Amino acid sequence: MKFKTAIAAASLTALSAAGIATGAAAADGQLDWKYTDGMTAERWSNANSDYAACDAGAMQSPIELDQASAIGDVKLSAAYGNAAGKLAIGTHKVQVDTPTGQGMISGDRLFNLLQVHFHTPSEHAVSGKRYPLTAHLVHATSDGTLGVLGIMFEAGAANPALQNIVDAMPRGNGGDVTVDMSDMVPADLSVHRYMGSLTTPPCSENVNWHVAETVMTASPAQIAAFEGALGMTARSLQPLNNRLLVAPSK
């Protein structure tokens, strides 16, 4: 965590202003929106007019990554480490809220890590393929600009950071969990880069998306644990429209 001292308090206020915190939920804790099969359009704006951007926005996520409009290596550096976080668990949600002091620098902007959450299967696709699990590391700059680093996992060797989260899940919402985020992020930070949105309502745009080219591994048991906790949690692929999508050079 080499730039720890440079990181101001993460802007949770900005995050909630962007609508990322909870989404709307009824009193019984049920969401007022639902996933489809991951391919059929969800039409979330029909459920709640606050979600208009989900269907009317032209910069939505996730997308198919194998349609790059440019090749280039994004200047990205990251400083993640071992830190004590809190579980946030709910319907379709397994998340770890992280303490300040970690993050990434993308394009000379410092993005403070706020939380990591998961989807099964992955939301972004590569040549039509979705991986069984993805982590979304959600960050914000001090002015509230959101930036996400997406990491995909395929079946293979167990990941120690994921294991810490799996082991902590029974503690439930608010439970303590210590995770070394550096174990979840590939050493090679070649990324696909584009401007997109939150992938859940209210689908707010102007999110700086980075999806790592390197796919990490998780054990079949770890993948099964996340699938069991999350269920189907991948939004349908959204049109690229006229956005710039930069793919890494290798």
To the nearest whole angstrom, how small is the minimum distance from the Cβ of residue 196 to Zn ion?
11
Segment interacting with Zn ion (CB under 5 A) among 78-86, 132-140, 160-168, 175-183: 132-140
| CB-nearest residue to Zn ion | 136
**CA atoms lying within 13 Å on the CB side of residue 57:** 28
Number of residues that bind Zn ion (CB under 5 A): 1
Comparison of 1 and 229: residue with beta carbon closer to Zn ion: 229
Q: Pattern of binders to Zn ion over 154-193, x per CB under 5 A?
A: ----------------------------------------
Type and span of the H or E element at 86 = strand 82-90
Give the up-direction half-sphere exposure of residue 162: CA atoms within 13 A in the CB hemisphere: 29
Interface segment toward Zn ion; rule CB under 5 A; list 5-13, 22-30, 134-142, 160-168: 134-142
Among 124, 136, 192, 210, binds Zn ion (CB under 5 A): 136
205 burial via Cβ count (<10 Å: 0-12, 13-18, 19+): middle
Secondary structure of residue 164 in the 3-state scheme: helix
Closer by beta carbon to Zn ion, 2 or else 186? 186
Of 194, 208, 77, 60, which Cα lies nearest the Cα of 140?
A: 208
Whichever of 122 and 249 has its CB closer to Zn ion, that residue is 122
User: What does each C-alpha distance from 127 to 51, 66, 68, 76 come to in angstroms?
Assistant: 29, 5, 11, 24
Q: For Zn ion, give the closer residue by CB, 136 or 193.
A: 136
Residues forming the site for Zn ion (CB under 5 A):
136
